[in-house]
A and B are shown apart, each in its own frame.
Chain A
Amino acid sequence: QSVLTQPPSVSGAPGQRVTISCTGSRSNIGAGYDVHWYQQLPGTAPKLLIYGNTNRPSGVPDRFSGSKSGTSASLAITGLQAEDEADYYCSSYAGSYSWVFGGGTKLTVL
C-alpha cells in the first residue's frame, strides 16, 4: 500500500479532460512539500511531467497541468490524445530525507 493514494485507473475519450488525484497526509503533501508527477509510457522509463506542484519542464505540452491543495494534488490533462495513454505517478518528500511515490494511475484513452 503506497503512502500516496492514486486511483488505479482513469479513462477518457480523445479531446476530453481527465484528472488524476494524489492524496497524501500531513506528513508529506500536507506538510507543504512539493508534489511531482511522472509519466511512464509502456515499456519505458518514467519521465518528469510536472515538478514543484505546477511547473512543466521544457517540452511538456501545456495540456498537462498540476495543482495542490491541503493534503492532495491533482494532475489534469486536457485535449486528451491517444499518445497520453500511460501510467502516471505522483511523488512527494516524506521527511527524514526520504521520498514516496503514489501507486500509479493507468490512463486509458478510449
Chain B
Amino acid sequence: QVQLQESGPGLVKPSQTLSLTCTVSGGSIISGGYYWSWIRQHPGKGLEWIGYIYYSGSTYYNPSLKSRVTISVDTSKNQFSLKLSSVTAADTAVYYCAREVLPASNLDYWGQGTLVTVSS
C-alpha cells in the first residue's frame, strides 16, 4: 500500500518561500508510470493543481503559478518537494501531495494534507 506524507513548516511569513516535502512509502518513486503531484486547497474552497514531476526530473507547472513554483525529486530518499516563492496570504491553503497514474492521469494516492498559513 503506497502512502504519501507531507511535511514542512505550518507558518510562513509573507514574501518568503514555502517549502514542503512529500515522503513516499510502500513504493518506489523511480518506478515508471507515475507523476508525483502537488495540489492545494484554499480554506473552504476547491482543489487547485500546482504541478508534477517525473522521477527523471521532468516538471510541469500550473501556468498561473509557474513563475513561483519549483518541484524537485530526491530519489535516494524517495521524496519529492515543493517550493513556492514570494508567498502572500493568498497562498494560505492545505497542500496535498499525490501520485498520478500514467497514462490515465488520475490521482490514486493522496497524502493527508498539511495546512500552510502565510502570516507575519
Q: Chain A residues in contact with chain B, CB under 8 A?
A: 2, 34, 36, 38, 44-48, 51-52, 57, 89, 91, 93, 96-104
Contacts and interface: CB of A to CB of B under 8 A. Distances in A.
A39 to B, nearest CB: 11
Q: 4 closest Cβ contacts across the A-B interface?
A: A51-B106, A97-B60, A36-B106, A45-B110
B104 A34 contact: yes
A44 B96 CA distance: 11
A48 B111 contact: no
Interface of B: 45-49, 60-63, 96, 101, 104-108, 110-113
A34 B46 CA distance: 20
Contacts of B61: 98
Given A45-B111, A98-B60, A98-B63, A52 B47 contact: no
B49 A48 contact: no
Contacts of A98: 49, 60-63
B49 A100 contact: yes
A101 B61 CA distance: 15
Given A45-B112, A46-B110, A101 B104 contact: no
